[in-house]
Structure 1
């Protein structure tokens, strides 16, 4: 019950390939405002780099469905495809997205399962998601679907808050306290972006009076990528507070985190502190 389908769009315009290296972006949607914001962000990104976008809608049969409704799955599939067609018809008429190729993908199953199916079918390089879906939970920066995807799916993921405005990835904040994680993220970021094209602020959060790392080995590794980078230390007992304090006071287009920093992501999800939400509301995250 998983399939792409032709919307019979007109021929796509030729686009100049820019600095990013990815070719296919996956955007899951439940047709909520947050999902549309993520799709809009991905469309701006795709228009710059010549990437295509696979737009995924997953659907499930409600538990307890009776045998009388044996064709319910067919109805859900039909609705999913129709809603995808309407959504992409809207996008293709937006002037900034005229050259973007959209591929609708309708699939039965849980979100993480259908992401894997769509990713294998279309050789996905990057996933772009909203922070929360239709069941938006007040005071949570990440919804459960988004966090589950980050935890389970083995692809780079951009998480787009509702208030985010797209800007090219020129100034990047890479947040980690571990040199091994920083180097692993830098290697993957180089595959996606090309480190020679970005300025990186490498931010470590340490408790007050703790000795700062010298990063000698890390510097050797980063210099091999011809990277433009600088090291910064934020003194704070909370990693979440420290990173968000730094991002509030320094210009950047995106925050980059390692999946190993899952405790930080959980902290964002479960935080009910208004200040944290407000500080983070306009800054997308790239989780590698």
Structure 2
């Protein structure tokens, strides 16, 4: 992990997300890239060169952003009671005029980002679908993992990480190296959870191939695989988080239609509606077959 992108809107949520990013960057030896996206409060006069005015505004916003980063670094150092704790974390800043969602995705590509750290508000899942959520939208489209930090949830070492995964969707190209790296960075206890919706699924699903894939992907880390049977998958995940006293939930969100989201069928939407812990969303594309067409690792009867 070399570069972590942190979108900043100067809210309390953004400051909390930046605290997470500083801790992760310190442990991983990564660089922080802070991004502030804005719209001008006053349109430039026709007498001015619009390009020059935009560049001046972006430079001014970048200076403010760097000052904000320095302030947060000082606050975190004081709170940790460890002088110099974050001194070695390099910080770069960029301010862009435009729409937040578009500029975040653009910055991910331009600066070769490895991880995005953002705040999330919570609230009802249907409201998120109706009102839109920059964080949820970025999760759905980002080619890199996104760490969504719930409002009011302060940083805590990721001692126990829950990876909730539908093992039926794994294929031979599914790359879980990033998750393996995170577990190693935090020296965490990884708990893998697969939830069957019913006993028919449980009886017709051959777990041997996907479990072997996990062995191959997690060869350098200890982990435990857990199974549950419950129609409400989101509820099962939340119960498991509480039981294990987890510090981080990892999902691979699937791309859903607008109708699915409005009908509250998205498991990720349900989880983020009432967040218990930070959510690390791995890119949905890692579940897609790459290169030549390949079959999933498992076959099962249609339900």
Question: Could you state the TM-score of these two structures normalised by the residue count of structure 2?
Answer: 0.71
Asked if the contact 1:175–1:204 (Cα under 8 Å) also holds between the matched residues in 2, the reply is: yes
User: Paired residue for 2:189?
Assistant: 199
Distance in 1 (alpha carbons) for counterparts of 2:236 and 2:101: 31
Specify which of 146, 155, 177 is matched with residue 166 of structure 1. 155
Distance in 2 (alpha carbons) for counterparts of 1:285 and 1:99: 26
Deviation at 1:176, TM superposition (A): 1.9
Asked if the contact 2:167–2:210 (Cα under 8 Å) also holds between the matched residues in 1, the reply is: no
Q: Are 1:284 and 2:278 matched, yes or no?
A: yes
Asked if the contact 1:29–1:56 (Cα under 8 Å) also holds between the matched residues in 2, the reply is: yes
- Structure 1 unaligned residues grouped into runs of 5+: 1-21, 272-276
Distance in 2 (alpha carbons) for counterparts of 1:235 and 1:82: 53
Distance in 2 (alpha carbons) for counterparts of 1:237 and 1:219: 22
Asked if the contact 1:196–1:228 (Cα under 8 Å) also holds between the matched residues in 2, the reply is: no
Deviation at 1:261, TM superposition (A): 6.8
Asked if the contact 1:112–1:153 (Cα under 8 Å) also holds between the matched residues in 2, the reply is: no
- Return closer, same or farther for 1:285/1:185 CA change in 2, 3 Å cut-off: farther
Q: Are 1:223 and 2:212 matched, yes or no?
A: no
Q: Which moved more, 1:97-106 or 1:171-180?
A: 171-180
Moved over 4 A (4+): 64-76, 137-143, 191-198
- Return closer, same or farther for 1:230/1:69 CA change in 2, 3 Å cut-off: farther
Classify the secondary structure of the residue corresponding to 1:260: coil
Deviation at 1:251, TM superposition (A): 2.7
Asked if the contact 1:174–1:182 (Cα under 8 Å) also holds between the matched residues in 2, the reply is: no
Classify the secondary structure of the residue corresponding to 1:172: strand
- Structure 2 unaligned residues grouped into runs of 5+: 78-84, 257-265, 283-303
Measured on the aligned residues, the alpha-carbon RMSD in Å equals 3.1
Q: Are 1:56 and 2:35 matched, yes or no?
A: yes
User: Paired residue for 2:179?
Assistant: 189
- Return closer, same or farther for 1:156/1:91 CA change in 2, 3 Å cut-off: same
User: Paired residue for 1:130?
Assistant: 119
Distance in 2 (alpha carbons) for counterparts of 1:161 and 1:197: 23
Q: Are 1:86 and 2:80 matched, yes or no?
A: no
- Return closer, same or farther for 1:66/1:43 CA change in 2, 3 Å cut-off: closer
Please give the residue correspondences for 1:91-110 in structure 2 after superposition, counting only pairs within 5 Å: 91-94=72-75, 95=77, 96-110=85-99
How many residues are treated as equivalent by the alignment?
A: 253
Deviation at 1:219, TM superposition (A): 2.0
Asked if the contact 1:202–1:231 (Cα under 8 Å) also holds between the matched residues in 2, the reply is: yes
Deviation at 1:99, TM superposition (A): 2.0
